[in-house]
Structure 1
């Protein structure tokens, strides 16, 4: 039975494997190019020491600008590819029988429905998870100097999605969605569209609730030290300003009278602002958030796969 499933799904599995191999090669080349360029500019410290400020003008800025967009591209590509692996291997897993009306023939053979469903799931899900694991491990190594150069924490969006247990949870969700929809719908296109939309909805909900799952931290910066940006060890959520008595000052009321050439910090002091307050999800919450959101993904996936199993037993 396993060999039969492999023969039917080998095109999808080989496509997924090819995408993983090409992406691994891109990641390795990107890191080697970054290290080579940094060595040529004499800025190798920018890739290993987060305390180094390589965003100012000069050769450090040249390194920063040269690899900003390649870094963004690699992040978005990995973010999209991981769930795509689950969709690729599961899109036609059950849809072929439901679409072509051959489910009755397949399910009246000597193999039980439970074994037919289990073998299909295991033969395709395990390679998809293995591919996601390979991408996660290679990305952790390849993107490390990029994250140091661009001062991006693992808990920030796109950093969070590429590390830890979430890539495995992401591919599990997309796979489960495609497998479930494949047993309920009779159109491959509908399965693909439904899986993409469903995954995006689940991802968006988890992303926008990430700030509220665990208590946030607050950092107060005296206005004399405020440079207009949040330099916190985590994922910024909100920023507020406070007056002499600790009262909250609305963002729309701050800096209204500041001139274009005036020092922003000095202007805010003149307006009576005493401090800028940053609320953020600290980097120390990375693993708790990973485990919580991955746990949610596992529960959702279990429900979807259960739905697929129940439906598969009634096909034909």
Structure 2
């Protein structure tokens, strides 16, 4: 028999696990694409024909403080409000997905099967989170850009405040990092609760607690001014001028990213302890 020489420096090509992650979570990927497309379509409609009609009706119907809402204004308001609500749901959806995924993989033993195929536990978890994190970041960035485009073009009705929690979040980087925070919370919840349903419940509760705490802390993250727009919580009322928008956004963004990094570090530590 003929013996073939094998170059010891040649190593097998590592499996591209990110492709497996995309195939495994095809349904979640399609759902995320549908959500981003639907919200983007609503924002674009409100920016174009919906916003033009609403602004024209608002200017025609308003005389002093007496304003009446037309169908155009109502539809515009509904599109804007639904878009902000859906953007606000994304962190919870990310948390539920991560919690159920990690808990189900550990409960069924699927993760251990993957670890026997030349994929280390650390690489398994890192790739499983990096793919959805990239997709969440890309989709959320699109939604934020469209939301800012709409908000700057049409301010109807005039009473809308950029410091409202939903508008403030959707108008900046918080709408991008909150889903990543939800992903980190759900991941840790999956390690703490091995059953998918309990992990999902813990992820939702912990995400709600984290976002609520950040919301209450928001007015205190930057010095207030004597005049400006009102920033209000249940126990605090202060004033923030418009140019404080980005400092507040960036400070809270940094806190959310630090918290997400801490939670992920804890999850990886638990993984290493359980597989060592």
Asked if TM exceeds 0.5, the reply is yes
Contact 1:104 1:315 in 2 (8 A): no
Distance in 2 between the 1:104 and 1:77 partners? 35
The reply on whether 1:173 has 2:187 as its aligned counterpart is: no
1:129 matched residue in structure 2: 137
Instruction: For structure 1, list consecutive stretches of 5 or more residues without a partner in the other structure.
Output: 47-52, 220-232, 239-277
Q: Tell me the matched-pair count.
A: 254
Q: What is the SS of the residue equivalent to 1:158? A: helix
Aligned ranges for residues 278-289 of structure 1 at < 5 Å?
279-289=238-248
Cα-Cα RMSD: 2.7
Residue of 101, 109, 124 corresponding to 1:101:
109
| TM-score, with structure 2 as normaliser | 0.80
Distance in 2 between the 1:54 and 1:64 partners? 16
Distance in 2 between the 1:214 and 1:14 partners? 39
Q: CA deviation at 1:163?
A: 1.4
Q: What is the SS of the residue equivalent to 1:218? A: coil
Structure (1/2) with the larger strand percentage = 1
Q: CA deviation at 1:150?
A: 2.6
| TM-score, with structure 1 as normaliser | 0.71
Aligned ranges for residues 219-234 of structure 1 at < 5 Å?
219=227, 233-234=228-229
Q: What is the SS of the residue equivalent to 2:239? A: strand
Contact 2:115 2:121 in 1 (8 A): yes
Distance in 1 between the 2:77 and 2:63 partners? 12
Distance in 2 between the 1:195 and 1:300 partners? 15
Residue of 228, 235, 256 corresponding to 2:230:
235
Distance 1:92 1:7, change over 3 A: farther
1:310 matched residue in structure 2: 269
Residue of 25, 31, 34 corresponding to 2:51:
34
Contact 1:177 1:304 in 2 (8 A): yes
Aligned ranges for residues 135-284 of structure 1 at < 5 Å?
135-147=143-155, 149-219=157-227, 233-237=228-232, 279-284=238-243
Distance in 1 between the 2:183 and 2:64 partners? 40
Distance in 1 between the 2:96 and 2:39 partners? 16
Deviations 1:257-314 (A, max 9, x none): xxxxxxxxxxxxxxxxxxxxx8412222111111111111111100111122122224
Q: CA deviation at 1:121?
A: 1.5
Distance in 1 between the 2:28 and 2:96 partners? 6
Structure (1/2) with the larger helix percentage = 2
Distance in 2 between the 1:66 and 1:4 partners? 42
